[in-house]
Amino acid sequence: MDSTETSAPVCYRHPDRVTGLSCSRCGKNICVECSNDAAVGQVCPECAASTGQHRVVRAGSLSGRASFATAPVSFSILAMTVAIWLIGVVAPAANDWLFQNLAQHNLLVAAGEWWRIFTAALLHAPLNSSFGLFHIGFNMYLLYLLGPRMEQQVGSPAFAALYVAAAGTGGLVSFLLGDPFQIGIGASGAIFGLVGAWLVASWKTRQTPGGRAMFNQLMFFVLLNAVLGFAISNIDWRAHLGGLLAGMGIAYLWSIFAVGKPNAVGIRTAIATAVIAFDLAAVLLL
């Protein structure tokens, strides 16, 4: 057996932080707090200082492969959502309990069960439904594509708050604009929040080939889903719209208030948490 050990890379300024990022100029490993965007990739504080670069939310590719160590929230949400779906597959009684207590039933939300606008994101169509495996498979695939890279860039607490805020705003819009008897499930509101945040990031880097390509791809995805949302009755376009607007708004505020700040992760987390508080207040007061 080979006894050679390979340790996970850590930030050169913060040895206690495992990271999947590295400076695209000097090659040093850097954490999200030490990452500054360049035209291509990210650079360390020293390389950024020499060229006057500032940190922004970036749509370009990250160095290093995403893993639980570098994106724990993304993979935890993915694992928990899939686990809940699998419980419903193997235990129909448990599945009934989950739907009765966590799904967004607008009548029950109006009666004071506010948590449903958030918890509906944990549920997906059962295996024997018309959507079946596609519903959870599509949402979780998008989470895998969009989540870890964003979490690495903005920090785990901020990413977690963004995901919950987008889910809540999607649920809120669905509650306000949907039928009182409507019942909604799925993480699509939260996923569209990630799409919205990446739209803002790619728009800000649209002068680069990578930013422009990502913006065009995301716009096509949004427009396609807008058409499908009106063409297919089972798709809740209201939740998609709410999540998208929440993600775009949060990312825009991040770009104004968090860029270049020493406590950027804390500022991002506070902004997204404020949106969660707004969702909660709105669903209780309206």
Q: Which is the catalytic residue, given 35, 74, 188, 202?
A: 188
The letter for the amino acid at 162 is L
Question: Could you tell me which residues are beta bridge partners of residue 90?
Answer: none
Q: Which is the catalytic residue, given 105, 124, 135, 240?
A: 240
Q: Are strands 42-43 and 29-30 parallel, antiparallel or unpaired?
A: unpaired
If we measure between CA atoms, which residue out of 276, 173, 180 comes closest to residue 229? Answer: 173
Distance CA 250, CA 273 (A): 10
Question: CA–CA distance from 64 to each of 8, 24, 68, 173 (Å)?
Answer: 11, 12, 12, 37
Distance CA 103, CA 126 (A): 13
Number of Cβ within a 10 Å radius of residue 53: 17
Assess contact for 19 and 11: CB atoms under 8 A: yes
Distance CA 58, CA 37 (A): 7
Does residue 188 have an active-site annotation? yes
Q: Which residues belong to the active site? A: 188, 240
